[in-house]
Amino acid sequence: MRMHSFEEFWPYYLAQHQKSATRLTHFIGTGTALIAILLALLTFNAWYLLLALVMGYGFAWYGHLFIEQNRPATWRFPRYSLQADLLLFWIMLTRGFAFEDFSLPRNPLKGK
């Protein structure tokens, strides 16, 4: 499977995150990773960057392996996967933690 754009990847990403508990683990992982990155910048402590990786991927992969029971797309599509994780975090932050609207536009930031 090849993805040539984020717009092409986004529906695939949503299909891999159908259960609200999986999306919640991603939200927690992304949120704690962002906090750890902020702490790294504020304290000049690089250990927080390692913590960001462990927390971000740890929660997300737990959701895939034990809740959704599928494989994370991180290794095959690292850039799109990171973009989608950040977009999912933003959608959940602004629209609610358990959004179920899979009729979202292909790229919600552009409204298309």
Nearest alpha-carbon partner for 67 in 77, 59, 57, 79: 59
CA–CA–CA angle 96, 76, 67 (5° rounding): 45
pLDDT of 112 over the 70 cut: no
Who has greater pLDDT, 47 or 15?
Answer: 47
For residue 23, which amino acid is it? R
Q: Are 58 and 104 in contact (CB under 8 A)?
A: no
Say what the pLDDT of residue 93 is.
87
Say what the pLDDT of residue 107 is.
52
pLDDT of 58 over the 90 cut: yes
Who has greater pLDDT, 45 or 100?
Answer: 45
Torsion, Cα 53 70 73 14, to 10 degrees, reads -100
